[in-house]
Structures are given as C-alpha cells and as structure tokens.
C-alpha cells in the first residue's frame, strides 16, 4: 500500500499507521506499507518509530524523493510496489481506516469478481459522504448488482458504468480505494494536476480499465486534518482558491475528452466546465479591480491552463452578477 507523505507536524502519520496495524489480518495476508516522503518538513521516521513495531504481517519502508506533489509521490510508490503484489491500497497520512477495511475489500473483490474497490468515507463535513450523492439515492442508476444484503451492502457494476457515474460527481476518496495490482500496468496519476483533480482523474482511469467495480456502502475511512493542498485552498477568493478552481477546469476538461461518454454525461461535464470558467474569470477580474492592477501570477497561471477563461473573463463578471439578480428575483438559473 502507498502513503504519500508531506506534513508540518508529527503525530498525524502515527494515527494512520495505528489504523493499519489494527486491521486484524490473518497471517496469510501480508501488507507492504510504502511511505513516500515528498520532501516533507517533518521526517516520517518520527511517527514510524512512535507507532512501534508493526504486526508480523506488516512491513514498513520509507522512500524519499524531491517534492513533486501528491500525484508524483503516489506514482513513486506505485513504481515500488512488489511484482508479486495482489492488491494495491492507498491511504493519505492524515486519514485512518476502520479495522475491517482490508478484510471487507478482499471480500468485495471475491464476491463481485472485481478489479476495483472503494467504500464510503467520513470527514469533519459529513459522517457518510455517500448520503449526499446520486449513488446513495439511486445506487448505480438501478443497474448495479447488490452482491450482499442491504445491511452489509456491496454493490457491483461494470467499469464503464462506474466511470460514467463518477464522471458526473466525485465518489471515491483516494484513501478508500483498492485495486488489483495488475491494473497499475501503464497507468499512473497525472502529475500536471498538482493542485486539484488528480485523484478524480485517476479513479476514472481505473474505472475505465476495470472489468468490474465493487463499492461498499459502509463508511470505512475517516478523513483527518493534516496538510492538505485541496482542503487548504477553500477560502473563497484567495489566490489558492483561484488556483484550485483553475486546475479543476483542466481536470474536468481531461475527463470530458477521456472517452465517448453518453450524452447526459457529456452535457454535465460541459456545464461543469462552463461553471468553472465563469467563476475563475470572475475571480480574476475581481482581483484585478480590487488591486487596481493585474494579478500577473494568477493571470499567467490561468492563461497557461485555459486561455478561454482569461479571454472571456470580463463577460464572466456580467454573467455572475446577472445570475445573482435572477436568483434574488426567484427566477430559474441554468448551471
């Protein structure tokens, strides 16, 4: 399993390792933990030593690399996965697994004859993330196969179907994903998506490659509060927020051109791109007007990622304000 590591204080990875050591695996299941130190200010060795000796079925090793972001760190870990590995799991250093995560994943792989597995997750925003998604209200569009009783639900479907479902909404948090090891052949995360979207794109690539996908409706992962590039860029209107939104445009565009999606999926992706461009254009103009001059670094970044956003930025301001007025008047507004 692969853990990308970049943290500014000790004790965070310690909790992740404790959750790994508590998996209660049988002696036949061996867990090779690969921690990729992405030039972290805090050495992961501190937490590895603090966690104590791992169980006999768990080995821990650390690989150090120059800083390249989470996608690059995970790719380094993927390159180090043993050739005889059966499954590959991922865990962010500030997240933890429930004690039955590995056991349920292996059971799901076997029951559903799946290549890809993921589960529900919990964070400080929600106890069960799936409850706010289409997956919860209409599991796999009614086409998914229930392979366990509802109280212990595993759903399964074809990879193409899961890819189409996931293209329209973010479903699989990276820490909840396990894959058959041979799925990694020729497949890596997109390192250019350093600031947003690399995990969503990777999951869609996995789903497109998978024959079958198994999803657990149980929440098996708890998200923590360590250093998170994505979470730290949610303060509206900041340069980090603008950067995150700009990279999300690239991410959605990448997803849109990945394969021949059904028309409803393509329509949703086009709407998401339009919405992203509108907001980034508005934020660019807002920063220009508030500073009484151009924010050159932000302009250069967005221009390098999506020139249409910069060219139509002035119109985005008009569009955003018009939509606000329509909403205040109680009139319907398209996405």
Give the residue numbers spanning the domain of 139.
2-227
Residue-level pLDDT at 133 = 85
Residue-level pLDDT at 70 = 93
Q: How far apart are CA 99 and CA 22, in angstroms?
A: 6
Residue-level pLDDT at 136 = 73
Domain boundary among the residues 194, 210, 227 is at: 227
User: What domain count does the chain have?
Assistant: 2
* Structure token digits, residue 5: 């590591």
- Same domain, yes or no: 33 and 136: yes
Interval 82-92: pLDDT, tens? 999 999 999 99
Q: What is the DSSP string of 180-202?
A: EGGGGTT----TT-TTTTHHHHH
| Inside any domain, residue 141 | yes
- Same domain, yes or no: 290 and 311: yes
Residue-level pLDDT at 291 = 62
Residue-level pLDDT at 294 = 63
Helices 263-291 and 313-328 sit at what angle, rounded to 10 degrees? 100
Q: How far apart are CA 142 and CA 178, in angstroms?
A: 24
| Inside any domain, residue 206 | yes
Lowest mean pLDDT among 52-61, 145-154, 259-268, 284-293: 145-154
Distances (CA, A) of 241 to 65, 95, 238, 281: 27, 23, 5, 13
Three-class DSSP category at 1: coil
Domain boundary among the residues 227, 258, 286 is at: 227
Residue-level pLDDT at 317 = 73
Flag whether pLDDT at 234 surpasses 80.
Answer: no
- Same domain, yes or no: 68 and 120: yes
| Inside any domain, residue 333 | no
- Same domain, yes or no: 198 and 182: yes
Domain boundary among the residues 207, 227, 247 is at: 227
- Same domain, yes or no: 240 and 296: yes
Residue-level pLDDT at 292 = 55
Interval 2-42: pLDDT, tens? 999 999 899 999 999 999 999 977 667 789 999 999 999 99
| Inside any domain, residue 335 | no
pLDDT band with cut points at 50, 70 and 90 for residue 229: very low
Distances (CA, A) of 211 to 80, 114, 157: 25, 7, 9
């Amino acid at each position: 399993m692969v853990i990308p590591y970049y943290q500014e204080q000790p004790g965070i990875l310690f909790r992740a390792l404790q959750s790994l050591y508590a998996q209660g695996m049988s002696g036949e299941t061996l867990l090779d933990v690969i921690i990729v130190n992405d030039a972290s200010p805090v050495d992961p060795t501190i937490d590895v030593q603090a966690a104590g000796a791992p169980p006999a079925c768990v080995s821990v090793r650390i690989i150090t690399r120059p800083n390249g972001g989470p996608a690059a760190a995970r790719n380094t870990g993927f390159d180090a996965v043993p050739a005889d590995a059966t499954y590959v799991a991922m865990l962010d250093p500030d997240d933890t697994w429930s004690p039955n995560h590995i056991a349920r994943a292996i059971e799901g792989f076997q029951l559903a004859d799946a290549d890809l597995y993921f589960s529900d997750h919990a964070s400080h925003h929600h106890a069960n993330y799936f409850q706010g998604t289409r997956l919860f209200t209409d599991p796999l569009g009614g086409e998914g196969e229930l392979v366990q009783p509802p109280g212990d639900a595993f759903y399964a479907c074809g990879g193409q179907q899961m890819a189409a479902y996931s293209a329209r909404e973010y479903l699989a948090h990276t820490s909840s994903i396990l894959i058959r090891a041979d799925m990694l052949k020729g497949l890596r995360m997109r390192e250019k998506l350093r600031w947003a979207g690399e995990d969503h794109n990777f999951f869609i690539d996995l789903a497109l490659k998978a024959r079958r996908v198994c999803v657990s409706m149980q929440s098996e992962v708890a998200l923590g509060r360590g250093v998170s590039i994505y979470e730290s860029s949610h303060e509206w209107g900041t340069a980090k927020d603008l950067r995150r939104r700009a990279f999300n445009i690239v991410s959605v565009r990448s997803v849109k051109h990945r394969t021949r999606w059904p028309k409803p999926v393509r329509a949703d992706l086009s709407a998401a791109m339009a919405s992203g461009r509108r907001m980034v254009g508005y934020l660019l103009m807002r920063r220009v007007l508030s500073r009484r001059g151009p924010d050159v670094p932000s302009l250069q970044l967005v221009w390098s990622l999506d020139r249409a956003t910069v060219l139509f930025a002035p119109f985005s301001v008009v569009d955003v304000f018009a939509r606000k007025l329509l909403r205040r008047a109680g009139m319907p507004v398209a996405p």
